[in-house]
């Protein structure tokens, strides 16, 4: 720890306070003795900080710990009603909006059509109206709203709240956070949509105790988020994680990004659907991934081959991540995992086959289907992430 940090009492107090909050978030209800053991802070520091957090309603007292002799100890837990957040996910044709509490529980949810006019003013109006109607319908005191998080497919600059490039909406360098902030009078945070899911896994999901992990999503596209050394990795200006756009075959099919042979052009849901449609009449051709799965369930060899091919290529792509980063955990998510073993089994086989010798030995792979609620809840995690973020980051000190 630098001399500056050692000499700054306010910063030290903020760091310790953050440590207590994050320890309770990760471990659940804990006694003060357990907090002292896990945090390695002094008994006096834990007592003082927890009393402040109780007085400010961030922590609640309730229940008793396991009896180990002597006086039973009261447990401390996060107060889920201490604050709430709005999460918005911008999709190709829809906007989903969720109001969540401090523990990421969805209190209110809305699914709205995306305006046909993708003009930024039109979209910002729709987003702000979604926020206001969701909060109003929930009955939650607006003063408890800590902020708004927005997940967008494409390249974002989280530090400035700018959408650098949105492939679905055609936006370039749009200051979306500022446009929304001046209307809502609330903090607004912008992030790549897969990064919002990754942050949600870090704060409240399978990545709570994991130092290094990745989230891979498969659906309309293929994306990736990374947590390295307990920090969401955002790359230079926020541009990272475009796993779907690594080149798989330079002479391959055209990708939606305008280049040829991207992993996404072979393995994402539209590629699976197109593979099956190519050999069928227009009347019998599948229109959705669910249609392809139904054909596979009925024994259709082509549908099964399309899903198997997708899984194999996806597994090769993920093996590249393991060879480069060797994370402890890989979470495979997104709408596309509903294909189940038709896609996932060959993915896992290819992942094992194409990873460098021994690197997969201690890597855990979790497969989780992602619905619209999860995407919206992930966006709300942007706000909670700021609440639990280390004060060192705000102070501009490397962690």
Same domain, 105 and 158: yes
Same domain, 304 and 253: yes
CATH number of the domain at 90, please.
3.30.420.40
Tell me whether residue 147 is in a domain. Answer: yes
If 0-12 CB within 10 Å is exposed, 13-18 middle and 19+ buried, where does residue 90 land?
A: buried
- What is the average pLDDT across 6-27? 86
Q: pLDDT tens for residues 194-210? A: 999 999 999 999 999 99
The Cα 197–Cα 219 span in angstroms is: 14
pTM of structure: 0.88
SS3 280: coil
Same domain, 238 and 96: no
Same domain, 137 and 245: no
Same domain, 248 and 295: yes
Same domain, 225 and 343: yes
Q: Using only C-alpha atoms, what is the Rg of the chain?
A: 23
Integer angstrom CA distances of residue 345 from 8, 194, 305, 339, 399: 53, 23, 13, 10, 38
CB atoms inside a 10 Å sphere around CB 353? 12
The Cα 256–Cα 107 span in angstroms is: 36
- What is the average pLDDT across 56-61? 94
Q: Is the dihedral of CA 146, 147, 153, 155 positive or negative?
A: negative
> Of 14, 48, 78, at which residue does a domain stop?
78
Same domain, 10 and 72: yes
Q: pLDDT tens for residues 325-365? A: 999 999 999 999 999 999 999 999 999 999 999 899 999 99
> Of 60, 78, 96, at which residue does a domain stop?
78
Task: Calculate the CA dihedral of residues 171, 177, 180, 185 and round it to 10 degrees.
Answer: -170
The mean-pLDDT minimum among 78-82, 105-109, 368-372 falls in 368-372
pLDDT at 3: 44
Is pLDDT at 105 greater than 50 in this prediction?
Answer: yes
Mode of pairing for the β-strands spanning 30-31 and 74-78: antiparallel
Cβ 201 vs Cβ 207: under 8 Å: yes
Identify the residue whose tokens are 């090769």.
Answer: 316
pLDDT at 282: 65
Look at the chain and report how many structural domains it folds into: 3
pLDDT averaged over the chain? 90
pLDDT at 269: 96
Residue 4 pLDDT grade (very low, low, confident, very high; cuts 50, 70, 90)? very low
Tell me whether residue 26 is in a domain. Answer: yes
H/E stretch holding 231: strand 231-233
Tell me whether residue 128 is in a domain. Answer: yes
Same domain, 361 and 323: yes
Residue 64 pLDDT grade (very low, low, confident, very high; cuts 50, 70, 90)? low
CATH number of the domain at 38, please.
1.10.10.10
Same domain, 311 and 345: yes
pLDDT at 394: 63
Same domain, 69 and 32: yes
Tell me whether residue 399 is in a domain. Answer: no
Tell me whether residue 189 is in a domain. Answer: yes
Tell me whether residue 41 is in a domain. Answer: yes
Read off the tokens for 270. 């539209």
Integer angstrom CA distances of residue 167 from 55, 126, 156, 257, 258: 47, 19, 11, 7, 10
CB atoms inside a 10 Å sphere around CB 246? 15
The Cα 261–Cα 347 span in angstroms is: 19
Same domain, 236 and 358: yes
- What is the average pLDDT across 29-44? 94
> Of 78, 96, 112, at which residue does a domain stop?
78
Segments forming the whole domain that contains residue 9:
3-78
Same domain, 194 and 319: no
Tell me whether residue 60 is in a domain. Answer: yes
């Amino acid at each position: 720890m630098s001399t500056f940090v050692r000499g700054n009492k306010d910063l030290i107090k903020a760091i310790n306070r953050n440590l207590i909050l994050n320890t309770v978030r990760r471990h659940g209800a804990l006694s003060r003795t357990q907090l002292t053991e896990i945090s390695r802070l002094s008994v006096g520091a834990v007592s003082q900080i927890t009393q402040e957090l109780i007085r400010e309603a961030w922590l609640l007292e309730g229940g008793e710990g396991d009896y180990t002799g002597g006086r039973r100890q009261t447990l401390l837990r996060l107060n889920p009603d201490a604050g709430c957040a709005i999460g918005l996910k911008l999709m190709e044709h829809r906007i989903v909006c969720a109001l969540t509490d401090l523990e990421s529980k969805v209190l209110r949810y809305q699914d709205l059509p995306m305006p046909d006019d993708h003009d930024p003013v039109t979209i910002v109006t729709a987003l702000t109206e979604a926020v206001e109607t969701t909060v109003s319908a929930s009955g939650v005191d607006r003063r408890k709203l800590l902020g708004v998080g927005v997940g967008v497919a494409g390249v974002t600059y989280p530090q400035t709240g700018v959408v650098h490039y949105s492939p679905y909406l055609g936006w370039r360098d749009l200051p979306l956070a500022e446009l929304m902030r001046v209307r809502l009078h609330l903090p607004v945070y912008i992030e790549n949509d897969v990064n919002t899911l990754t942050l949600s896994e870090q704060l409240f999901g399978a990545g709570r105790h994991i130092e290094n992990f990745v989230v891979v999503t498969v659906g309309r596209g293929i994306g990736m988020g990374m947590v390295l050394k307990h920090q969401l990795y955002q790359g230079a200006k926020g541009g990272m994680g475009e796993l779907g756009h690594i080149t798989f075959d330079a002479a391959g099919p055209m990708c939606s990004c305008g280049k040829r042979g991207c992993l996404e052009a072979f393995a994402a849901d539209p590629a699976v659907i197109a593979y099956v449609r190519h050999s069928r009449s227009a009347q019998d051709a599948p229109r959705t991934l669910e249609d392809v799965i139904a054909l596979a369930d009925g024994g259709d060899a082509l549908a099964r081959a399309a899903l198997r091919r997708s899984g194999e290529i996806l597994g090769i792509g993920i093996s590249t991540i393991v060879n480069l980063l060797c994370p402890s955990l890989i979470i495979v998510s997104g709408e596309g995992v509903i294909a189940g073993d038709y896609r996932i089994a060959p993915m896992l086989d290819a992942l094992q086959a194409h990873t460098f010798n021994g690197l997969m030995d201690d890597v855990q792979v979790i497969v989780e289907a992602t619905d619209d609620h999860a995407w919206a809840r992930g966006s709300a995690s942007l706000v909670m992430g700021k609440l639990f973020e280390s004060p060192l980051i705000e102070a501009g000190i490397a962690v």
